């Protein structure tokens, strides 16, 4: 029997995951919105046989952040258009686009993801997020009224239910295209959705046929209690952030343990921690690279980023002292799990604000691994083989170099060890990840009634 | 001085503009959502030096139409994802995507169009439509409450103002990318929008840099009184439908005459009638082709289509008799100008319902021209040179044949006559159409204040 296989995501945050990336002379201003450069990066990831490219997203420019001028959040292509473009220049690699359930219409989003899945012949995935923050709210007519955490998740549940119904609204064999009889479709196989929720109501059917994958792969990124429950009920991949093997294992067990009550088996949900690799030919070279990148980032940017993640203005405190008293978890309306992760890391390791900034500007809270290609591979393998990860979302510090290094130096080692593919075997993202194509809920009902 | 140049759009309604198109054995079921086939068609249009590809769109499947099963409205790719895909496989041709101001959020749509404009290096255009119909309303939580005509247009005005402000929210030189000083951008050149309208409120700025074209080209498709006014105030191309030279000339004069009150010159708005060409090696062959296509369409489909366009259920009337009494124009909430066009055609030519159906299922109300390639070119040239058109939106009856014929047989004649380009001279859609790149409204204010 063949070994259990690792999956890999390439996390595209341009010009790099490290907050210092854009300061590095190897990155160029003209590559900010350069589709040719983007295509080159995607082909590199495909050459490395990555399962997927992943993009994070938000619906505000970060103008109200004090670090705005310092490139705290760099503008980027909109994910659905970007991946539709990349569908034309790649053949196998999957595409996970982040999109918000808070500030989209389910009909529009279901349709665009279905369209991307058709354009890419079954390579689309959706990272489902809820959006937070007053700047985002104001971009959608909400004035300064941010959504409370529980209502965002309630809406997200409804949103997902509707979108899946819309994807199912055309059964796979609904279109007859019978030129002889002049009948285009079998109306019994096209379904209204008629969903009436507390937040959302949609009639349907969708105006595009069922996606090649049935549904694009559903990814979920929240690791709070509400996020875990949404994931257990609806997600196929969970994107998460952990600093230690023990924490990652606990999360892995917890989320997989929630599946049974929804009638799902543990294999139906893949756990995908983010990982931030700093690769050197020697460990020393890797350490020097880390130090170099850290020094590129103005202290002010680090203070602002940490303040944002903790929901506390740290600009009034001594950076060489400890964190001030933090608010209780219940009062955090943003990313609750990221807040907990950073708080726990500070307490566990007795870090000063400056030291904590060093952690946050690198992997932005994700697992940082450093060393030679062998050491990187060892650490990934350890988590993979000890119940902490099924997939890693690999976050190159600076593009394109860090991606190139990972593809050229680390992937061959994982391949030699027999835990990562040498060639794509399937052609859809579901096939890469080992996920089943979902049965159409309306077709299932028809069968059940017979 | 060089001759005034014609512009051409390729209207992509797959498998063809003719209602009978999908019944023809040359069209294939497997091409319904086949990106490779789509790419091939786009390359053909580019080979023909078309200015742009145009796609119509709607936000419902047409399920409630009695002609649904007969392929009255065929599902298609979503336009923004489709054109992002095509941006990667073409180099020069422009892309006009239809999108609704009624059922989108301005922040999301501004961003996706900006992204498409970056991905295509300045080849995007937006056909601005308002959406009507109960089925569409129900897909966006409105239950059965359709929007009244004047409110749809009021929202459209606000929507366009906001979207332009969002595109301008980053001045062209806002991003410094100063790696030495660690300053990413010049905050004085990034602007909040802070728009508070009756229907829409948006804070801004957008989270993507200004589109290469400043704004994607603004196309507008309504020809009602409200539509003409919206066009005169905001559009750069008006897509319209006329049956006779005189009507088209009157429309051309009327709309161009409205520009002055908005401080615009007649050249800033191009008039683009739709044209439905049936090409034969002889006129007789063209007539036979028209007849063949008409006979492919079930009568029921024709009755339903005409009923929809007139807002009257015609299934109870004798198809060989005249139209029944029609409702007054004020009661039409859908496409008012299309209603008038069909009503006038029926009155002018004393057509029976069946004869009228013959007109409607072919060009769907657009100008039908029939004959040899020379005759087709003659008719286009007549409208172009007599104040009726600047651009034609060419609607091939059946893909790919009718597009191929137009490219191979008609375009060379227009080129020989010196009224159509032999090679692209510019690289953006604005350059193809001879439209200026808009000045940034915030930069203009800054200059004015100095």
Residue range A277-303, pLDDT digits in tens: 999 999 999 999 999 998 888 888 888
- A107, A120, A141: residue with CB nearest B140: A107
Query: Binding site annotation covers A130?
Result: no
Choose the mutation target among A33, A64, A81 for the interface with B, i.e. most B CBs under 10 Å.
A81
The nearest CA of chain A is from the CA of B414 a distance in Å of 32
More confident residue, B145 or B50: B50
Query: Taking 50 as the threshold, does the pLDDT of residue A450 lie above it?
Result: no
Residue A122 has pLDDT above 50, yes or no: yes
Task: Please give the DSSP secondary-structure letter assigned to residue A190.
Answer: B
Q: Mean pLDDT in chain A?
A: 92
Average pLDDT over residues A390-410: 97
Asked if pLDDT for residue B1 goes beyond 50, the answer is: no
The whole-number pLDDT of residue A183 equals 86
Q: Rank A127-136, B111-120, B298-307 by mean pLDDT and report only the highest.
A: B111-120
Angle at A194 between CA A192 and CA A200, to 5 degrees: 130
Partner-chain contact B139 A185, CB within 8 Å:
no
Which of A59-73, A123-137, B112-126 comes out lowest in average pLDDT?
Answer: A59-73
Least CB–CB distance from B207: residue in A22, A58, A104? A58
Average pLDDT of A190-219? 96
Q: Is A224 annotated as a binding residue?
A: yes
Chain B positions touching A121 (Cβ under 8 A) are 35
Does residue A329 contact residue A339 with C-beta atoms inside 8 Å? yes
Nearest CA distance, B142 vs chain A (angstrom): 8
pLDDT at B116: 98
* For range B363-375, the mean pLDDT: 90
CB contact under 8 Å between B32 and A175, yes or no, is yes
B397 or A361: which carries more pLDDT confidence?
B397
Q: How confident is the model at residue A73 (pLDDT cuts 50, 70, 90)?
A: low
Which residues on chain B are in Cβ contact (under 8 Å) with A207? 58-62, 73, 75-76
pLDDT(B230) > 70 = yes
B59–A207 C-beta distance less than 8 A:
yes
Out of B87, B207, B298, name the one closest to residue A60 (CB).
B207
**Chain B contacts of A183, Cβ < 8 Å?**
69-70
* A98 annotated to a ligand binding site: yes
Of B85, B208, B296, the CB nearest to A119: B85
Among the partner-chain residues A78, A121, A202, the one whose CB lies closest to the CB of B141 is A202
C-alpha gyration radius of chain B: 22
| Lowest-confidence pick of A91-100, A200-209, A411-420, A438-447 | A438-447
A107, B61 Cβ separation under 8 angstroms: no
Within 8 A of B81 by CB-CB distance, chain A residues are 80-81, 84, 112, 115-116, 119
Q: Is the peptide bond before B208 cis (omega within 30 degrees of 0)?
A: no
Report the alpha-carbon distance of residue B294 to residue B292 in Å, rounded.
Answer: 6
In terms of pLDDT, which residue wins out, A179 or B286?
B286
Q: Is A223 annotated as a binding residue?
A: yes
Q: What is the pLDDT of residues B405-421, one digit of tens each?
A: 999 999 999 999 999 99
B304 contacts: CB under 8 Å, gap ≥ 6: B65, B66, B67, B70, B72, B315
Q: Residues of chain A with pLDDT > 90: what percent?
A: 72
Q: Is the dihedral of CA A173, A179, A184, A187 positive or negative?
A: negative
Residue A252, annotated ligand binder? no
Under 8 Å between Cβ of B311 and B328: no
Mean pLDDT, to the nearest integer, of A430-437? 98
Give the per-residue pLDDT at B445: 65
pLDDT of amino acid A145:
67
Out of B192-196, B365-369, B403-407, least confident range: B365-369
The mean of the pLDDT values for chain B is: 92
Place of tokens 């495909």: A46
Q: Contact A86/A38 with Cβ under 8 angstroms?
A: yes
Rounded Cα distance between B360 and B74, Å, is: 17
Q: What is the structure's pLDDT at A1?
A: 47
B433 exposure class (CB count in 10 Å sphere: 0-12, 13-18, 19+) = buried
Residue B76 pLDDT > 90, yes or no?
A: no
**Can you list the domains of chain B with their CATH numbers?**
7-283+366-449 (3.20.20.30)
Please check the confidence at residue B396 and state whether its pLDDT lies above 50.
Answer: yes
Sign of CA dihedral B414, B416, B420, B425: positive
Confidence of residue B450 (pLDDT cuts 50, 70, 90): very low
How much is the pLDDT for B69?
Answer: 80
Largest CA distance in chain B: 80
Closest C-alpha among A398, A405, A365, A399 to residue A20: A398
Query: Residue B74: what pLDDT?
Result: 62
Contacts of B202 in chain A (CB under 8 A): 138-141
Tokens (6 digits) for A226: 């509400």
Select the residue of B62, B119, B200 nearest A85 (Cβ to Cβ): B119
For residue A427, say whether it is annotated as part of any ligand binding site. no
The alpha helices in A297-440, defined as continuous H runs, are: 299-310, 336-349, 353-363, 373-385, 401-405, 411-416, 429-433
Minimal C-alpha gap between A109 and chain B (Å): 10
Residues 6+ apart with CB under 8 A from B219: B54, B96, B125, B126, B127, B128, B235, B236, B237, B238, B239, B272
Separation between Cα atoms, residue A370 and residue A377, nearest integer Å = 10
**Bridge partners, residue A238, by sequence:** A220, A271
How far is the C-alpha of A266 from the C-alpha of A275, rounded, in Å? 22
Query: How far away is chain A from the Cα of B325, in angstroms, using its nearest Cα?
Result: 31
Q: Which residues of A375-400 are buried (b: 16+ CB within 10 A; e: fewer)?
A: bbbebbbebbeeebbbbbbbbbbbbb
CA distance A180 to chain B (A): 8
- A81/B115 CB distance under 8 A: yes
Top-confidence range, A185-189, A389-393, A442-446, B321-325 = A389-393
Q: Which of A86, A19, A8, A54 is nearest to A398 (CA)?
A: A19
Share of chain B above pLDDT 90, in %: 72
Considering Cα of A32, then A33, then A36, then A42, what sign does the dihedral take? Answer: positive
Q: Quick: pLDDT tens for A23-56.
A: 999 999 999 999 999 999 999 999 999 999 999 9
Query: Which residue of chain B is at minimal alpha-carbon distance from A191?
Result: B63
Residues of A in contact with B299 (CB under 8 A): none
Looking at A136-150, B158-172, B179-193, B335-349, which range is the least confident one? A136-150
Per-residue pLDDT at A449: 52
Average pLDDT over residues B151-172: 95
Contact B207 A104 (CB under 8 A): no
* pLDDT tens column, A357-375: 888 777 777 899 999 999 9
Query: Nearest C-alpha of chain B: how many angstroms from A337?
Result: 25
CB-based burial of residue A425 (10 Å sphere; 0-12 exposed, 13-18 middle, 19+ buried)?
Answer: exposed
Q: Which residue has the higher pLDDT, A147 or A83?
A: A83
Disruptive mutation site among B115, B168, B304 for chain A (greatest number of A CBs within 10 Å): B115
Long-range contacts of B247-250 (CB under 8 A, 24+ apart): B248/B273, B248/B367, B248/B383, B248/B388, B248/B389, B249/B386, B249/B387, B249/B388
Model pLDDT, residue B132: 83
Q: Do A207 and B58 touch (CB under 8 A)?
A: yes
Q: What is the pLDDT of residues A294-328, one digit of tens each?
A: 888 888 888 888 888 888 889 899 999 999 988 88
Binding site listing of B for FMN: 57, 98, 149, 153, 223-224
Q: How far is A400 from chain B (nearest CA, A)?
A: 17
Mean pLDDT calculated for residue range B140-151:
77
- Percent of chain A exceeding pLDDT 70 equals 96
**What's the confidence (pLDDT) of residue B448?**
52
Does the pLDDT of residue B138 top 60, yes or no? yes
Tell me: pLDDT of B285 over 80.
yes
CA A114 – CA A216 distance, rounded (Å): 7
pLDDT of residue B303: 87
């Amino acid at each position: 029997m063949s070994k259990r296989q690792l999956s890999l995501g390439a996390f595209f945050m341009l010009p790099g995951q490290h907050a210092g990336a854009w300061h590095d002379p190897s990155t160029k201003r003209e590559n900010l919105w350069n589709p040719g450069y983007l295509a080159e990066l995607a082909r590199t990831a495909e050459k490395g046989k990555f399962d997927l490219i992943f993009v994070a997203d938000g619906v505000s420019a970060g103008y109200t952040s004090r670090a705005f001028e310092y490139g705290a959040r760099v503008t980027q292509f909109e994910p659905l258009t970007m991946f539709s473009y990349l569908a034309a220049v790649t053949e196998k690699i999957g595409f996970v686009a982040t999109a918000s359930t808070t500030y989209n219409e389910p009909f529009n989003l279901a349709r665009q993801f279905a369209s991307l899945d058709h354009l890419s012949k079954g390579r689309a995935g959706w990272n489902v997020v809820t959006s937070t923050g007053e700047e985002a709210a104001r971009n959608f007519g909400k004035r300064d009224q941010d959504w409370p955490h529980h209502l965002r998740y309630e809406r997200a549940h409804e949103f997902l239910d509707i979108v899946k119904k819309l994807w199912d609204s055309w059964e796979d064999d609904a279109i007859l295209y019978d030129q002889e009889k002049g009948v285009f479709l079998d109306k019994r196989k096209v379904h209204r959705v008629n969903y009436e929720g507390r937040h959302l109501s949609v009639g349907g059917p969708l105006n595009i046929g069922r996606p090649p994958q049935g549904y694009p792969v559903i990814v979920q990124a929240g690791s709070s209690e509400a996020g875990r429950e949404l994931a257990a009920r609806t997600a196929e991949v969970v994107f998460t952030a952990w600093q230690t093997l023990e924490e990652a294992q606990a999360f892995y067990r917890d989320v997989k343990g929630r599946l049974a009550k929804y009638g799902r088996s543990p294999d139906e949900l893949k756990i995908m921690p983010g990982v931030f690799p700093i690769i050197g030919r020697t460990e020393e070279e890797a350490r020097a690279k880390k130090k170099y990148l850290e020094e590129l980032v103005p202290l002010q940017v680090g203070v602002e980023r940490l303040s944002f993640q903790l929901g506390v203005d740290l600009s009034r405190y001594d950076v060489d002292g400890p964190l001030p008293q933090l608010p209780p978890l219940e009062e955090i309306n943003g990313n609750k799990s990221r807040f907990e992760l950073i708080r726990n890391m500070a307490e566990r390791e007795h870090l000063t604000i400056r030291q904590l900034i060093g952690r946050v500007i690198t992997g932005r809270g994700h697992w940082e691994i450093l060393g030679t290609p062998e050491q990187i591979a060892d650490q990934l393998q350890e988590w993979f083989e000890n119940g902490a990860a099924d997939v890693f979302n690999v976050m190159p510090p600076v593009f394109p170099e860090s991606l190139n290094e990972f593809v050229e130096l680390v992937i061959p080692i994982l391949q030699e060890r027999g835990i990562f593919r040498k060639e794509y075997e399937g052609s859809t993202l579901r096939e890469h990840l080992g996920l089943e194509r979902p049965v159409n809920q309306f077709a299932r009902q028809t069968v059940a009634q017979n």
